Structure 1
């Protein structure tokens, strides 16, 4: 009789001291930060040897409430454990935990079986959060107490949580300014600290039209990790008269990025005199560019001649408004030698020489 009592006591002590799981998984996250929103991608990976299907799941994350609008979190993308991908599931949804404790991505299973959890990281879904303070740490982390995942038959899955690195924006920008010199815009920016800074991308679009999209002008390497002041610059040259908007995209080594915009648009005005510039490059083979400027609207002729005075090409022959212009001349079918180009309006005429060398 004593032996039976001892055996029962031993079994009971095992059940009390800890849970036993037959299945396990690893939860990971990645993030993309565009300065306005932070998008958090949630992944699951099976780590136990026997395959199983996922059922109910609460994937709960925490963020810095002084930097992120936790209540404004929404589902951006639904993964394979949603009814759109597997009709046995309900619609994936998101919930607040304790008001400011955390935000979850929830999976619900309506009918067996659920979807298989692969041995490679598989997207559960993407949550989007508005950023309220772009200079503060976002402190993205798993809430290990509230996060829980079950198999489709109700067995609890042992979870391992992998937190991403701190999402403090890697660059502290001290200035971003632009100045105009004729039809060139000179842009400068400086940083007083950089962490994990891969590079900057400078982008431009024409102001005043919703259909205009930003175009990438240049990519400039960052200084990685630095606590010193670093200065950067770029000259955007040979622009037409008009209004332009510039922005700076800072990208870290993890692919996270942040946009910085100038406070106002930049205007390239109308020149105050006629001018014909020397072609560039010169000598050339076989393409060169010719810049000229008009202080007022006028009928304009820009033509190319060979050394005998024979007209070879007409680049412009019509009315142009005041502004800065760049024309491209292609000499693929011409022989090496000296050529001339002539700009003519009702008030101005000038001729310049150029050299084609093949």
Structure 2
């Protein structure tokens, strides 16, 4: 009996296995008419697929030419409760393609139906839609229930006509997840999946919906890529959604809007988001750790204005990234009627209680323009605006680099052409919100109508230069005082910069925007307060940073004359003095000017300082025709020629081994000849020699000549290969072990890479890699170290 039972058991298991296999095999259900129900209808095909386990496909084969318009019954299409692919492109005459080359024949239309109906409702994981036009429904085009995963919607037009060019609005959202659910929905893909297969064909046009284009709540790991949202299929039509293009709400986390920069189809993964009545992208209500990268926001596909009211708003949400270190991750955020980006904390039907906006990073974007940063697409008020409403906190956020030592040089934003300030802040009508730790670093700001950074503003207009001289004010970034630069002098190949700052501040120096100083200056001002065009170097008051130190480390006082504004007080604070090689200030001239910000240990960054200009050297009492240094027989021979000598007494010959500290070698008396020819021999030159002449007048006044450089050791420095592909080899001698800095500039003087090396005493050979990503062209590479300084032009 036991043996017989085992035999029956094996037969039953085999039959059960056969039943499972046959019942779960994917089926294709064909739609052959546009009837509301019955055989061959779309509703019947959904019902059959729901009743069959496994991921089925609904395909179309309707006689005649499209478009074919489907309307459900008054109760709507059946809710999709089993995995399913509805493939609109299966209809003869339909054709996948780019936005303008595709043909969509399958139209799902809700005109005249009850207002509570959505076009299609998904209540199953593993559902895919393609090649559909979903329009005119009273609720949303597509509703996705909570707790699902692996939903894909691509190649469709939602909220428009079948061409993706004019409005056919859904009453709420184009695509939404159910707001009533609290379970997370995972792995929704809206647009291209970035797998390298026809990715340019997969974007959706989502526009003209009467709430949002896409509204996801409790979403995890969603990817929204390659879509036109609020912009029609040609990339130019204005078909904006009535609230936001994209909203991530209710604790949506780790989602991607735009490109993942993985090297596959990155150029088609960015979304074009424009013409939306409030926000382009809205991250709200504890929606944390999301990335917005590589999108056009406020611009159409051709970078013409397609304004949202605000480009991106991060509201009661944290740890989001706007931008990325790769060039393809830069968002272009311009032409929005108010702000490019807003960081906000405040009440707005909050359900999850997130009262703080913190640790968000905005970096490597074009705000108010698009790459390469020439065209004016300024946002209507501010480029970046941070606001903490009463009882809420906006703390510890970054605009630009976080200066953690990894990719700092690639993290600054371009913030340009905005119609008021570049970056502005506000702490509520009563000033009781908390807004601190807003670090603003390594950005390029230019062409903004008001200040580059304005810490004290109302909702519509900037209020000018802010400070906190009494240290008693509370407000954005504690109203940290901008540094005061009161003098720049020349010392050979160095600039000596003197000024004041709050104790221990990091002082970040910039070439000032050429559009400042303003003319005329405000009443009582003696300096322009503008913005920083090119970031130069970061230095620390009363400390050391990047190999340079504060030479002074004392206290002092400044007044309104030194500060340059109309502040009536005299302020006692710390003084600084930095001696820095001129080569670290490319493009700085007597007409461009230097400005700076200060950032304290808590990450609070100030406004820009008053602009100060390098000195204009007065004419020497002689005219120098030439000044040269030549090495011969182990000796350095200096020759110079003059004319028109007036009241000249003599020349002191000075030498330096590092371009900073000079010592006198000797003196040569003036000849007073119509054309003077002079020679001086340095019998024991150093490995690296910087020579200058101190011309001394008969009354003791003196001026310096230019500095000439002479390398006294053969093959002291070699940089190869030239041209290079992805690396260069550096060979150099050091008299003592020490740091060597390598700077790479493009041909307009912009610093694009900095590498810190450690050299040993004697001969060193080191390789600098990671240059493969640089575009082809000419570059200048500079080496700076102790008794070491050179530059070479290279070609890639």
Return the TM-score normalized by structure 1. 0.33
Structure number with higher strand proportion: 1
Q: Which has the bigger relative contact order, CA under 8 A and spacing at least 6?
A: 1
Return the TM-score normalized by structure 2. 0.17
